[in-house]
Amino acid sequence: MSPATIFLLHLALGYVPWLLCVGVYVLPRLRSVNLVEAQRVIATLHSFRFFGLVFIVPGVVGRDLPADFATFAAYGDFATGVLAMLALLTTRIRPLFWLSVVAFNLVGTIDIAVDYYHGSQAGLPELAGQLGAAYAIPVIYVPLLMITHAVAFYLMVRPQIQAARVFAGDAAASP
């Protein structure tokens, strides 16, 4: 199997154990706590995204790692991490907290999607060895990040759906 095929297989299979883990252990727990606490858990995980700056550290990644991919990935992760930290710091100022939660999830989701695009355009699968020690980030960490962004959005929409059902049920039950 070629290194490019192995890298693509790693990318795809990286989602499977995280989806199973989140579905069985994490999502039920997040559903059982209030929405702010659930979002704080997700923000805590994403606050470590400053680590993405490693993509632009010479010696950690190879010299031939495409700059289009590395620079955007590094600063997109950094921005997401800072926004997640801002969410954690502003929990008691709810409007700012919710703005930060929405911002870090939007920025983070867009960052990952654009990183996949840049990586594809730059031929990253063929150059996966240039990731060096950072190889584990896209194949282990990124799937968890993308899944938790989806969970964060799901949780933000979920109460509105439940409230609409309760309201509709109350309206139907009243004479």
Q: Output the pLDDT for position 84.
A: 98
The C-alpha atoms of residue 106 and residue 84 are separated, in whole angstroms, by: 11
Q: Output the pLDDT for position 68.
A: 87
The pTM assigned to this predicted structure is 0.88
Query: For 28-52, b where at least 16 C-beta lie within 10 A, e where not — what string?
Result: eebeeeeeeebbbebbeebbebbeb
CB 90, CB 100: distance < 8 Å: yes
Query: What does residue 61 show for φ and ψ, rounded to 5 degrees?
Result: -110, 160
Q: Output the pLDDT for position 161.
A: 60
Low-confidence ranges of the chain (pLDDT < 50): 163, 166-167, 170
Ranges of H-type helices in 23-93: 27-32, 35-46, 67-89
> What domain count does the chain have?
1
The C-alpha atoms of residue 86 and residue 107 are separated, in whole angstroms, by: 13
The C-alpha atoms of residue 42 and residue 88 are separated, in whole angstroms, by: 10
Q: Which domain holds residue 67?
A: 3-173
Q: Output the pLDDT for position 172.
A: 54
Q: Output the pLDDT for position 158.
A: 86
Q: Output the pLDDT for position 167.
A: 47
